[in-house]
Structure 1
């Protein structure tokens, strides 16, 4: 399948929000176990106005994967070097869009002078990030009640994880 990867803009927010909500609800069952309280907390900030604000923030770098006229993936890198979002519609998974989004974010991070990236992965996505060179650095409970895996990836020779990084997911910012 062919995808175009381009910067996300505020008018993409409603479609990107749908990607986030469907991916979490349909693909991350292993993580939320269909618990309505966990889902409500996890999805609580996934609405178009909030997503548009993430896209508008000058400290974030956001991308969407587009197939035809449809947004099928969304990713976001914060200025602090956190990969805060990397989600695909269920029907777009395992077709290269996630890898393309990740490669583009990593290139941007290098251009910005970042030496490492870090993220909090779901158990569902653990294999994906490990396969792309991310290193496991323990577990962290998210504010919405899901056990996440802290991963980091060196982008420069000799880069090490920053031991003083927050070990929780700041899901209010992305």
Structure 2
């Protein structure tokens, strides 16, 4: 199955919110354990207004994955090299959309001169990132109450994770 990857635009915000909310609610149960307080905190900033502000930030790179002109995935990279979002609709998992989003985001990061990327992965997604060359660098407790895994990946030969990327906290609410 093929997916189209393109830059996200403000008009994608409603659809992206649907992707984020469904992915977190349905795919990340092992992380939130159906705890209403954790879910409310995690989903709290997943609004069209907030998502639009993320897309319009000049320091972020935002991409969407489309299947049949429908948004089925989203990825967002901050200017600091943090992959702050990488989410898919549950019905497109393991069909190549995540791999396509990640590959395009890594290519864009290299084009911007970034030597590494880092992220805070859910426990649910850690196998995906490990399979795509990301290196575990410890555990991090997210502000909304779940445990995450800090990962980083060299994008160019002999790149090392800068100290600024070894932060032991998550800025997910400010992505």
Which range, TM-score by smaller chain?
over 0.9
Query: What stretches of structure 2 of length at least 5 have no aligned partner?
Result: none
- 1:25-78 alpha-carbon deviations (Å, 9 max, x no partner): 000000000000100000000011100110000000000000112100000000
Match of 1:167 in 2: 168
Q: How many residues of Structure 1 are paired with residues of Structure 2 in the alignment?
A: 174
For residues 172 and 81 of structure 2, the distance between their equivalents in structure 1, rounded to whole angstroms, comes to 15
Structure-1-length-normalised TM-score: 0.98
Match of 1:53 in 2: 53
1:22 and 2:18 are equivalent in the alignment:
no
1:7 and 2:7 are equivalent in the alignment:
yes
For residues 93 and 168 of structure 2, the distance between their equivalents in structure 1, rounded to whole angstroms, comes to 28
Match of 2:137 in 1: 137
For residues 171 and 41 of structure 1, the distance between their equivalents in structure 2, rounded to whole angstroms, comes to 11
Listed as ranges, the matches of 1:102-113 within 5 Å are 102-113=102-113
Q: Secondary structure at the match of 1:153?
A: strand
Runs of 4+ in 1 over 4 A off after TM superposition: none
For residues 119 and 164 of structure 1, the distance between their equivalents in structure 2, rounded to whole angstroms, comes to 12
For residues 34 and 67 of structure 2, the distance between their equivalents in structure 1, rounded to whole angstroms, comes to 29
Structure-2-length-normalised TM-score: 0.97
In the TM superposition, what is the alpha-carbon distance from 1:163 to its structure 2 partner?
2.5
In the TM superposition, what is the alpha-carbon distance from 1:164 to its structure 2 partner?
3.5
In the TM superposition, what is the alpha-carbon distance from 1:2 to its structure 2 partner?
1.4
Q: Secondary structure at the match of 1:172?
A: helix
For residues 147 and 48 of structure 1, the distance between their equivalents in structure 2, rounded to whole angstroms, comes to 26
Query: What stretches of structure 1 of length at least 5 have no aligned partner?
Result: none
